[in-house]
Structure 1
Amino acid sequence: MEFATFILAAQRGYHQSSESVIRNSIEQAVASEQAGFNTAWFAEHHFNNYSLIPSPLMMVAHCGGLTSTIRLGTAVCVLPLYQPQRLLSEIGFADIVANGRLELGVGLGYQQFEFERFGVDIDEAPAVFSEYLDIILKGLNQNVFEHDGQYEKIPPTAISVRTVQQPTPPIWIAGGAARMARAYREGHNFFVTAFHDGLETLTTLRESVERAAASEEKNVTDVKISLLRCC
């Protein structure tokens, strides 16, 4: 078992400036390394004070220069809100400046008001996520890639900023049963969340994980599972 810190960067009152919240979050990442945590994860949210981190990759890049051993992860990059071609270069850049310590978490998002303000249809988020993840995997694994999909049509394209970790950084997927099954099918890791809930929720989560593994004829332990708990 490994222990990690999930850094939300919440502004708990307007007596806190955004600068103080961000600087405290950076300090928390540094302290997590000193305390022996394996990974510091950074959230992504927009247009509210629930979380003040608009780009977890920017936090990875910055904290990469302040730490030396702790893994630094995105939890998560909300794929439907990105242009995947640009995101590929930013992933490569973050892994370089973090000296190969990037953990790449991706998800489809859930807050409708965020999607509305980006002009993205949240009802299409699962399909967009699936296609954008296809693009990310192509771009990370191929020196030159192309894509002809429902949402993106990309001619032969080279991503010059390549990740240090080859062929890719560890990839983590957030979401429900369909995303769990894909994780097992393709060998990715995934996140599950129980927040403050008790053993009944944990039992339900375990059953969901077991079903996802069985659906792909895999063992439950074939991938890493990260459980988020509030404490």
Structure 2
Amino acid sequence: MTRTSTITAVADTTAEIPLPTVQDAGAATAGTGPVRVGAFLLSAQFPGQTHGEALDRTVRAAVAAEQAGLDSVWLAEHHFVPYGVCPNAATLAALLLGRTRRIGVGTAVSVLSTAHPVALGEQAALLHLTSGGRFTLGVGRGGPWIDLDVFGSGVDAFEGGFPERLDLLLRWLRGSRVGAAGPQFSFPEVAVVPRATEPPRRPDLGAWLGLDRRTGVLRFPRQRQDADGPADEHLTTAGRPAAGPPVVVACTSPGGVRTAAERGLPMLLGMHSGDEDKLHMLELYRSAWLAAGRGEEQLRRISRRHVAAGVAQVDDRTSAARATLLRAMPGWFEFGLGAHRTVDGRERRMRDPRQYTELLCDLHAVGTPRQCADRLLATAERTGIRRFALLAEGSGDREATLHNIARLGSEVLPQLS
């Protein structure tokens, strides 16, 4: 059986969806509350750039996102390809948590097929406890890439090993002593150190108020509250606050949706998904949730934590915003995704880079500030998803990326209230 690349496998099923108005949008299915916007940073190496330039843009963009008042930044990890030059999202998250004070930092995603769940759990606990609870762990199974050979986990870890790896990770994040006796991992019980279930240290009052310690200047506060409590509160399937860092699962298939729902974890949906695809995934999630014997009220509360990845490019004219992405992103897709090697020589097909860029422009917040806000509000109203991780570096240029993030904060966010 042949496999396609991740981008093709999902994008080929996505129809072009016209921009609905907020008034025409359907009833929300996943919850209510304010729309929360984060920046999705892939550390993309565009043609002609060095690895250091790509990483520098990511670090500066994360700091700019906090200054702009965005809710979060989300970091991707890849190996051996210029599509993204960050090989460990949790490591980069540690740096950015140290460079910022209020913004949430998450991985989108840490790939469990090539990582030991205990090692990743230790990293997540460390970041959770030392950042005041600002870290979110996003996990996924990745793709059938050569990474599986290089790191020794093998193709079985990708094909069928994700549930066992996820369960071990969750037991580590929620327990005090953990052992394993599965086909992939078998070891005697050991103590969990550091323990993610301990309450994280909260920042001092000045930091909560957004005061810079050195200057006393009031910075943009992070959006922290909604109708049902703290924005980053992680909930159990019973609707109670859960200890440890929040965990989200990247879902690109029905099997992934079931895996997330059965464990009571929210989904991270890819930027290839339009509103119809999101609604389909939400319905699959609901079915799997109810089949597990859980109730509607708990589902509503957990569903408030779903995150949708997308693209954002703000300009004075829609044509200018689209032109910026169409100049840069096709070359990046061809340069970056074309470098992927499969683990066993299986066939892979890549979508036409320009057509895929045009699709992303059609689906997401690309245009004037008002159009970007309308696009996000329409998706939120139609699907109920109110958390977004938006790719802001589509221009490929550092200064243009920082300017784009600043406009998201100053011109789009105020229209999302």
Same fold (TM > 0.5): yes
For 1:216 and 1:187, locate their aligned partners in 2 and report how far apart those are by CA, in whole Å: 8
Partner residue, 1:37 = 70
State how 1:168-207 maps to structure 2 within 5 Å.
168-175=244-251, 176-195=253-272, 201-207=274-280
Q: SS where residue 99 of structure 2 aligns?
A: coil
For 1:134 and 1:121, locate their aligned partners in 2 and report how far apart those are by CA, in whole Å: 19
Q: Verify the 8 A CA contact 1:56 1:76 in the aligned structure 2.
A: yes
Counterpart code for 1:86: A
State how 1:110-149 maps to structure 2 within 5 Å.
110-149=143-182
Percent identical across equivalent pairs?
26
Q: SS where residue 112 of structure 1 aligns?
A: coil
Find out whether 1:9 has 2:12 as its counterpart.
Answer: no
Deviation at 1:159, TM superposition (A): 2.0
- From 195, 207, 214, the equivalent of 1:162 is 195
Deviations 1:3-35 (A, max 9, x none): 11110001102x322222111101101111111
Deviation at 1:82, TM superposition (A): 0.9
- From 310, 313, 327, the equivalent of 1:229 is 310
Counterpart code for 1:228: A
For 1:144 and 1:125, locate their aligned partners in 2 and report how far apart those are by CA, in whole Å: 27
Partner residue, 1:68 = 101
Q: SS where residue 228 of structure 1 aligns?
A: strand
Q: Verify the 8 A CA contact 1:65 1:97 in the aligned structure 2.
A: no
Question: Could you list the runs of 5+ residues in structure 2 that have no partner in the other structure?
Answer: 1-34, 201-241, 313-417
Find out whether 1:101 has 2:134 as its counterpart.
Answer: yes
Question: Could you list the runs of 5+ residues in structure 1 that have no partner in the other structure?
Answer: none
Q: Verify the 8 A CA contact 1:61 1:97 in the aligned structure 2.
A: no
Q: Verify the 8 A CA contact 1:110 1:122 in the aligned structure 2.
A: no
Deviations 1:14-65 (A, max 9, x none): x322222111101101111111111100001001111011111111111111
Deviation at 1:127, TM superposition (A): 2.5
Aligned Cα RMSD in Å?
1.9
**Structure holding more strand per residue:** 1
**CA pair 23-96 structure 1, distance change in 2 beyond 3 A:** farther
For 1:187 and 1:209, locate their aligned partners in 2 and report how far apart those are by CA, in whole Å: 13
Counterpart code for 1:43: A
For 1:123 and 1:85, locate their aligned partners in 2 and report how far apart those are by CA, in whole Å: 19
**CA pair 100-126 structure 1, distance change in 2 beyond 3 A:** farther
For 1:167 and 1:216, locate their aligned partners in 2 and report how far apart those are by CA, in whole Å: 21
Comparing 69-78 and 203-212, the one that deviates more: 203-212
Q: Verify the 8 A CA contact 1:194 1:202 in the aligned structure 2.
A: no
Q: Verify the 8 A CA contact 1:88 1:159 in the aligned structure 2.
A: no
How many residues align? The count is 226
Counterpart code for 2:73: A
Deviation at 1:188, TM superposition (A): 1.2
Partner residue, 2:287 = 214
Deviation at 1:215, TM superposition (A): 2.7
For 1:4 and 1:130, locate their aligned partners in 2 and report how far apart those are by CA, in whole Å: 28
For 1:183 and 1:130, locate their aligned partners in 2 and report how far apart those are by CA, in whole Å: 9
Deviations 1:58-117 (A, max 9, x none): 111111111111100011110010122222211122223323211010000015232233
Find out whether 1:91 has 2:124 as its counterpart.
Answer: yes
Find out whether 1:51 has 2:124 as its counterpart.
Answer: no
Could you tell me the TM-score, scaled by structure 2's length?
A: 0.51
Deviation at 1:124, TM superposition (A): 3.8
Counterpart code for 2:279: R
Could you tell me the TM-score, scaled by structure 1's length?
A: 0.90
